[in-house]
């Protein structure tokens, strides 16, 4: 296993699937790419995961099959984001994340290889890309997890966010596995911060 702690600890930024309709998405992705290391981006499934939800009752699909399909939806969204921001490096393992950071570049996680092999991830709709981002935070020993949502957070901690429906019900348990600073922000707020740091 590569030593992701050898230099600066990674920072996970989870981009909600609803952001695919955000008019400033290309600008945000470009700013994240220019920020580079130690970022690891996690893409939500967005409308592709919604399509899996719609298909489940029509075909009487199991939760196991839909869990795998939803993770592949995240992977497809990641490919779309990489197409919009070529400066991002697609990475499907801890070694690939470390290699991207060694080049000074931000990694964009392809979750299928790691997540589908993980026995501690429930095959249920209660597990969403938010919990997967928290799981990756623990796996990488990241220092920070930022969830980028289309609306501001209500409540001040994971339990409150889950109660408000902002994150899935499993998120507080996965977030508790890590000492990372965990926060929720909007695309506008994150972009303002990135532009300010890049201009400094």
Per-residue model confidence as pLDDT tens digits over 149-190: 988 877 679 999 999 899 999 999 999 999 999 999 999 999
On average, the pLDDT of the chain sits at 92
Per-residue model confidence as pLDDT tens digits over 77-127: 999 999 999 999 999 999 999 999 999 999 999 999 999 999 999 999 999
Give domain limits for the chain: 11-199
Cα-flanking dihedrals φ and ψ of residue 184, to 5°?
Answer: -120, 135
pTM assigned to the model: 0.93
Task: Measure the CA–CA gap between 134 and 68, rounded to whole angstroms.
Answer: 18
pLDDT at 3: 38
Q: Does domain 11-199 have CATH number 3.40.1160.10?
A: yes
Per-residue model confidence as pLDDT tens digits over 13-27: 999 988 999 999 999
Neighbours of 190 (CB within 10 A): 17
Per-residue model confidence as pLDDT tens digits over 118-133: 999 999 999 999 999 9
Cα-flanking dihedrals φ and ψ of residue 140, to 5°?
Answer: -95, -10
- Residues 175, 183 contacting (CB under 8 angstroms): no
pLDDT at 151: 82
pLDDT at 1: 30
Structural tokens at position 38: 């130690």
């Amino acid at each position: 296993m590569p030593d992701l702690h050898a230099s600066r600890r990674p920072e996970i930024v989870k981009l909600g699937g609803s952001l695919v309709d955000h008019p400033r998405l290309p600008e945000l992705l470009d700013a994240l790419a220019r920020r580079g290391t130690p970022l690891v981006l996690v893409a939500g499934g967005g409308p592709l995961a919604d399509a899996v939800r719609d298909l489940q009752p029509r075909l009487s699909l199991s939760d196991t099959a839909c869990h795998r399909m939803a993770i592949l939806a995240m992977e497809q969204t990641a490919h779309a984001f990489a197409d919009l921001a070529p400066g991002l490096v697609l990475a499907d393992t801890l070694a690939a994340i470390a290699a991207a950071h060694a080049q000074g570049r931000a990694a964009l996680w392809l979750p299928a290889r790691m997540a589908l092999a993980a026995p501690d991830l429930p095959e249920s709709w209660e597990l969403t890309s938010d919990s997967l981002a928290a799981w990756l935070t623990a796996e990488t020993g990241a220092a920070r997890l930022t969830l980028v949502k289309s609306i501001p957070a209500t409540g001040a901690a994971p339990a409150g966010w889950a109660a408000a429906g902002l994150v899935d019900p499993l998120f507080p348990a996965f977030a508790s596995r890590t000492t990372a600073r965990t926060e929720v922000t909007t695309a506008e707020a994150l972009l303002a911060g990135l532009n300010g740091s890049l201009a400094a």
